[in-house]
């Protein structure tokens, strides 16, 4: 795959383009539209499989898309494996993982060296299939990730294999910038 094709795929993943992009709702905020439990996501201890796990193949890149900041992780010349995007229109941080879930809905577990959080997540039907979860930009977990330089970051869908990624200034740039909007 050429670098240009990889960039196009990554942009598609981040843009959330497709048949359902106009109806994306917040499935993670207490009382938010689409929320099933009405309860805020609970903080948990860091996942045991996270400790000592090898880092996934790839590196982080910072991108601006339509005035919105995004940190994108993936192997060179390939589609993005994971992205963190600041949605300034809704005041939320979008966590976007390549792939899909068999049921269309499930959970996304985000893990740092300091702890983890499990969010409701859903498939987004776009040109590049991906799963998305959201948190408000002012959430304590978002603040922690934005302030925690040097910590590794992991993501797993449902009970699947965890993608572990290194820290990178692109993550802090997106998180800090989103908190300030």
143-164 tens-digit pLDDT: 888 777 778 889 999 988 899 9
Decide: residue 35, CB within 10 A, 0-12 exposed, 13-18 middle, 19+ buried: middle
The fraction of the chain above a pLDDT of 70, given in percent, is: 74
Helices (H) and strands (E) in the chain, counts: 3, 10
Rounded to an integer, what distance in angstroms lies between the CA atom of residue 86 and that of residue 71?
Answer: 9
pLDDT in tens, 92-106: 999 999 988 888 889
pLDDT in tens, 105-148: 899 999 988 888 999 999 987 777 899 999 999 888 888 887 77
Q: Could you give the 3-state DSSP secondary structure of residue 128?
A: coil
* Terminal Cα-to-Cα distance of the chain (whole angstroms): 36
Does residue 147 fall inside a structural domain? yes
Expressed as residue numbers, the domain containing 85 is: 3-28+41-179
What's the rounded mean pLDDT across residues 70-87? 91
Does residue 132 fall inside a structural domain? yes
Residues 129 and 99: beta-carbon distance below 8 Å: yes
Residues 88 and 68: beta-carbon distance below 8 Å: yes
pLDDT of residue 169: 92
Does residue 149 fall inside a structural domain? yes
pLDDT in tens, 36-74: 344 567 677 777 778 888 999 999 999 987 778 999 999
Does residue 171 fall inside a structural domain? yes
pTM for this one? Answer: 0.77
For the chain, the domain total comes to 1
Does residue 33 fall inside a structural domain? no
Does residue 65 fall inside a structural domain? yes
């Amino acid at each position: 795959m050429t670098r240009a094709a990889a960039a196009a795929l990554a942009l598609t993943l981040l843009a959330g383009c497709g048949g359902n992009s106009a109806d994306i709702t917040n499935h993670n905020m207490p009382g938010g539209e689409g929320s099933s439990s009405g309860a805020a996501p609970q903080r948990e201890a860091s996942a045991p499989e996270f400790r000592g796990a090898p880092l996934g193949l790839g590196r982080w890149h910072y991108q601006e898309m339509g005035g919105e900041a995004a940190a994108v992780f993936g192997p060179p010349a390939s589609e993005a494996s994971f992205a963190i995007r600041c949605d300034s229109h809704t005041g939320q941080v979008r966590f976007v993982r390549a792939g899909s879930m068999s049921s269309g809905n499930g959970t996304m577990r985000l893990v740092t060296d300091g702890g983890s959080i499990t969010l409701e997540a859903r498939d987004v039907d776009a040109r590049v299939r991906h799963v998305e979860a959201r948190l408000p930009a002012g959430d304590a977990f978002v603040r922690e990730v934005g302030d925690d330089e040097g910590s590794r970051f992991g993501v797993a869908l449902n009970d699947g294999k965890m993608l572990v990624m290194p820290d990178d200034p692109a993550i802090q740039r997106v998180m800090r910038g989103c908190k300030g909007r």
